[in-house]
Structure 1
Amino acid sequence: MSGLPYKQVGMPAQGGIVAICDHASNAVPNDIDLGVSPEVLGKHIAVDIGTLGVVERLATSHGIPVHHATLSRLVIDLHREVDSPGLIPETSDGHQISGNLAADHDARIQRFYHPYHEAFSRWIASAPPKLILSIHSFTAELESKQEERPWEVGILYNEDDRAARHAIRLFREEGYITGDNEPYSGKLLNATMNRHAEAQGTPYIAIEIRNDLIADEAGQAKWAALIHDIANRVALALD
């Protein structure tokens, strides 16, 4: 991974749309041993599969600036509150992350978590956006628990559902099986948008894409174009 825990592509424009992707990478710094195999680092517990390709295309093909993580969520989960038990996971979907059992939490927070979020705060403060997109992906089936996950995309929200309501309607109108606070609820897991959107009064769309739909370049390009279109329609509807 690069020296910074984030990368920014493009520059925000006043009143525009920006995107953030907390789980874009499965990279692990050379000086951290998670105690897991390369196979585990390819799973959804280490990275939101396909999201990097989506957000890179949002930035380069569709003009939506992106701030994204450059390290694995197994090193530190940037989409958690700083005091969350899952911030530096010791287990995830049935896999033990043995290298985290004795991790120095404060050191990782200072090295990765604070720089990531402070950089995004400065970035959007320079040109406050009208709408923030939070891009994630989910697996159609967990390894440790059997449950039906029929959705192709989910829209999450906590208290502020202004943009979410429009996005849910628009995805459904396009024919997609769209979860309303599914496959899990933004009222429980919404840390990044709680901090950077809800706390600032900025509308947002937290988007969860089923990862098999964006596992290849064609799917990533399709979903980047779709998200760009729907995000712009939501921004207009918010006027």
Structure 2
Amino acid sequence: MSLPEILPGTADLLLIADHASAQVPPGIDLGISPALLHDHVAVDIGTDALTRRLARALSAPAIIATVSRLVVDLNRDPADLGAVPASSDGHLIPGNWNLPDEERALRVEAIHAPYHAAIAAEIARVRPALIISVHSFTPQLATRPDEQRPWPIGILYNQDDRAARRGLVALASRGLHVGDNQPYSGRDLNYTMDRHAEAARIPYLGVEVRNDGLQSKGGVARWTHILADCIAMVRRGLV
């Protein structure tokens, strides 16, 4: 069983990082070059460091994934075929081709289910006033080379936009070009927040930072400062 890492905190917030890890558990062979595990298809680059720094800055608890999304995507419904991807942004994942149902079920049972059980348990223990989902995105998709992704940061949401609207204003007030449900829509892909925030009517911020801003300690420090201020502003506005 692969359990998420849980960081303690006293603030009435909860940070969640679905795609923070590039780790592949022993016994699973994805059939890919090890170099691909450093690519955005395997991990949301920079989110592990960013989530940890935000947790310290905000004294907030955090739940951080410890398995690559190429093994099983924790931000997708496990019934979705894309939860165990056979390809991603043009890269084939041979170890996931024609995966036996028993192997797929085992990954869900050993990785996906305990991750979401940990989130549910933390929310049941101390219901947060605000959940923050931390992700990053690549400046350009290999399969869509003509598609522009100019936003240094985006805020994603589905139906509940209480926190998102405040977050968009807080970030834009700093002069940032903020993606409103960009680079993709939270109405299309929002599984973790739909399950744990929307369903429980807990306000949430779905944060997407462009990963070229998170590839140095200075970049992570900059976004920690920006997002800590933004999150604090959003939290005050929800009172």
Fold in common (TM above 0.5): yes
The match for 2:6 is 8
Q: How does 1:63-142 map to 2 (within 5 A)?
A: 63-103=59-99, 104-142=103-141
Which of 38, 42, 52 is equivalent to 2:38? 42
The match for 1:144 is 143
Counterpart residue identity of residue 179, structure 2 = G
TM-superposed CA distance for 1:60, in Å, is 2.5
- Does 2:192 align with 1:192? yes
Alpha-carbon distance between aligned partners in 2 of 1:95 and 1:5, rounded to the nearest angstrom:
27
- Does 2:222 align with 1:226? no
TM-superposed CA distance for 1:90, in Å, is 0.3
TM-superposed CA distance for 1:70, in Å, is 0.4
Counterpart residue identity of residue 91, structure 1 = S
| Length-normalised TM-score, structure 1 | 0.96
Q: How does 1:10-29 map to 2 (within 5 A)?
A: 10-11=8-9, 13=11, 16-29=12-25
Alpha-carbon distance between aligned partners in 2 of 1:5 and 1:70, rounded to the nearest angstrom:
7
Count of matched residue pairs: 235
| Length-normalised TM-score, structure 2 | 0.96
Deviations 1:189-225 (A, max 9, x none): 0000000000000000000000000111111122122
Counterpart residue identity of residue 6, structure 1 = P
Q: Secondary structure at the match of 2:179?
A: strand
CA separation of 1:97/1:39 partners in 2, compared to 1, >3 Å: closer, same or farther?
A: same
| 8 A Cα contact 2:76 2:82, kept in partner | yes
CA separation of 1:119/1:12 partners in 2, compared to 1, >3 Å: closer, same or farther?
A: farther
Counterpart residue identity of residue 94, structure 1 = G
Q: How does 1:45-60 map to 2 (within 5 A)?
A: 45-60=41-56
Runs of 4+ in 1 over 4 A off after TM superposition: none
Alpha-carbon distance between aligned partners in 1 of 2:91 and 2:140, rounded to the nearest angstrom:
15
Q: Secondary structure at the match of 1:183?
A: coil
Q: Secondary structure at the match of 1:151?
A: coil
Alpha-carbon distance between aligned partners in 2 of 1:63 and 1:220, rounded to the nearest angstrom:
17
